[in-house]
Structure 1
């Protein structure tokens, strides 16, 4: 049997984009930092987002039934830390940046690398987490020079290589 610590250590070597996932609605405006986000299919455009059920935001995402995946650029390390912090409340987290909205009303980070505005279509419980299957309703894309990734328990920056 694989121990939880061994699995976590192995997964730390899987580089992943850093995202702030947000929601708004009758349950209020909430968000968290997440790296467990990936494409499912392009027909129809669908993402999956994995969220720990013990997260203080979890119930709000379920109630609001919408979310936005904001893919962070290198300049957003402070925003990632704010949305991962247990010391800040939702209002304090959202004061860290400028926000807008697209179709669903979920908060969209104005200068995110890309934002995927989604409706949550299905939720599957797997162990300690919920897997949200999310239909992409709108996309906003910007053009920062570097993306923010998390690898081996640290932030790193990735950028396009220009060939001369």
Structure 2
């Protein structure tokens, strides 16, 4: 077995970005409300932290319009999109972040952060901790409510494009 890499370069920002494009990830919409204004942003940097207590993390660029409102309100909702919501994900990119929730139906769960109707799951969270790291803030959220409608196929992001998921034998 050949254990040597076929090619490699020092990990600079561009190589890192290109490498991360090869990491398939669920497409999520992170929502919050602060001072009466609703915000929404697309994110793939979402990860479970613990089941006891239920906790997850979201990485948000400090320049994202939702970053400060999440910090200020202390709440956010992670909405995991289905393949059927691909158009919503695309449309999010062409609308101001304070108008994005006008593109879909949504409701409120326990914290009051908007939850997008029809998502595979909506994790309603209270901010437990914020960690600054480089250009991003890592919001660790305690999951207050998980809204689980009927399961559907997830929307994925891979190599710069939205993808579906097919089963393998």
TM-score by length of 1: 0.91
Which protein is bigger by CA-based radius of gyration?
2
- In 1, distance between residues paired with 2:48 and 2:126? 14
| 1:133 paired residue among 126, 130, 140 | 140
| 1:33 paired residue among 31, 34, 42 | 42
**Residues 90 and 55 of structure 1: CA distance in aligned 2, closer, same or farther (over 3 Å):** closer
- In 2, distance between residues paired with 1:57 and 1:27? 13
Structure 1 residue 25: deviation in Å? 3.2
- In 2, distance between residues paired with 1:93 and 1:16? 21
Q: Is the 8 A contact 1:68 1:115 kept in 2?
A: yes
Structure 1 residue 3: deviation in Å? 1.1
Unaligned runs of 5+ in 2: 1-9
Q: Is the 8 A contact 2:113 2:124 kept in 1?
A: yes
For the residue of structure 1 that corresponds to 2:47, the secondary structure is strand
Q: Is the 8 A contact 2:83 2:153 kept in 1?
A: yes
- Is 2:24 the counterpart of 1:8? no
- In 1, distance between residues paired with 2:129 and 2:155? 28
Residue 66 of structure 1 is matched in structure 2 by 75
**Per-residue deviation, residues 88-119 of structure 1 (Å, max 9, x unmatched):** 22453112110001100000111100000000
| 1:112 paired residue among 106, 119, 135 | 119
Deviates more, 1:30-39 or 1:135-144: 135-144
Unaligned runs of 5+ in 1: none
State the number of aligned residues: 160
RMSD: 1.7
